[in-house]
Structure 1
């Protein structure tokens, strides 16, 4: 099948776009408002975009509490979502009123970042402390604003649970980070395998 993306005339029961662009890592974004209130929200439009310097991005579909906070403070954290925290991550996605702490809603212990004023999930296997470098509203080909706001942050601090380290590496099978698929589907990385990038010329 083929359909023009803008027309969205796919004829299916559900839009397949986010199922096609998957799996997507989940950015569990921790922020603190200028009023001192704490917020924790999962974003599946999230990824690393640079290694030198280390940078990550997430995109907010609409003006949400997280976006308000990062605009006010220019900092955020992102906590790794392992399978063991999946249900609590889902609880933190509830559309709670501004000022209500999702840490409390999901019964999560909160930890304080060291280099920025923002919280993260104490039980996460890893967390990143980030300072915002850019915030912008994405535009389409015709210049039309999308209503999706892209936040780019440079990583300034990294927390790792030493119990998750095996032979100097994060044990991904044990951590089992969650990924967002399409629809209501998730997957974890409990079953992992390695592939090395080939060198040129490729040996056959």
Structure 2
């Protein structure tokens, strides 16, 4: 998922238009080291201007999508996505209208440099977040809180494909046992 403010002329930005037209898009983690490039690519430029070139970013191409899409090579986390839908959040023209683009992740690229014990280490990625106005935040520390309750209801949140598969396999075995005649 990503969001993009519409232009002053109430038009969709290039990334939104391209995702809707091609049915694919890529998302990359915005990080503190990339902050200046992130800011440059937010500028409203005429359709077709190469934002990678303007921001001095190197392209690497998607490998899982039906239509190849450029990704930011310098970003440590990149997702290849199939487009699902766009939600338009209305604002007070001429500003404030935002397109939220939602997709299904079908390919993930993570730099080994940001992994600790096989998991993404947020302190190594230094993600940035838009807070409003012209303010951003850099995430330099994180903490963990596990939601109380049944462990099965938390499956997937911990990031373990192995545990998820094991639980699904055990549920299939139990379902098969229940469907057999006594």
Q: Normalised by the size of structure 2, how large is the TM-score?
A: 0.69
Contact 2:4–2:16 (CA under 8 A) maintained in structure 1: no
Q: 1:139 to 1:94 in 2, by over 3 A?
A: closer
Q: 2:134 and 2:82 mapped to 1: Cα distance?
A: 31
Asked if 2 retains the 8 angstrom alpha-carbon contact of 1:132 and 1:153, the reply is yes
Aligned to 2:79: 128
**Count of paired positions:** 140
**Correspondence 1:88 to 2:37:** yes
Q: Please list the CA deviations of residues 63-103 of structure 1 after superposition, one character each: whole Å capped at 9, or x if unmatched.
A: 22222212221110000011111111111111121111110
Cα deviation, residue 139, structure 1? 7.2
For the residues of structure 2 that align with 1:181 and 1:147, how far apart are their CA atoms? 17
Q: How much has 1:137 moved relative to structure 2?
A: 4.0
**How do residues 26-175 of structure 1 correspond to structure 2 at under 5 angstroms?**
56-58=1-3, 60-61=5-6, 62-116=11-65, 117-137=68-88, 148-175=98-125
Q: Assess, with a 3 A threshold, how the Cα gap between structure 1 residues 82 and 132 changes in structure 2: closer, same or farther.
A: same
RMSD over aligned CA atoms reads 2.2
Q: Deviations over 1:177-198 (max 9, x none)?
A: 1111021111111122222223
102-111 or 56-65: bigger deviation: 56-65
- Structure number with higher helix proportion: 2
Tell me by how many angstroms 1:134 deviates: 2.1
Structure number with the higher strand fraction is 1
1:132–1:152 Cα contact (<8 Å) kept: yes
Which protein has the larger Cα radius of gyration, Structure 1 or Structure 2? 2
Task: Report the secondary structure of 2:132's partner residue.
Answer: coil
- The answer to whether the Cα contact below 8 Å between 1:79 and 1:121 also exists between their aligned partners in 2 is yes
Judging changes above 3 Å, is the alpha-carbon distance between structure 1 residues 138 and 180 closer, same or farther for their aligned structure 2 residues? Answer: closer
Distance (whole Å) between structure 2 residues aligned to residue 138 and residue 81 of structure 1? 22
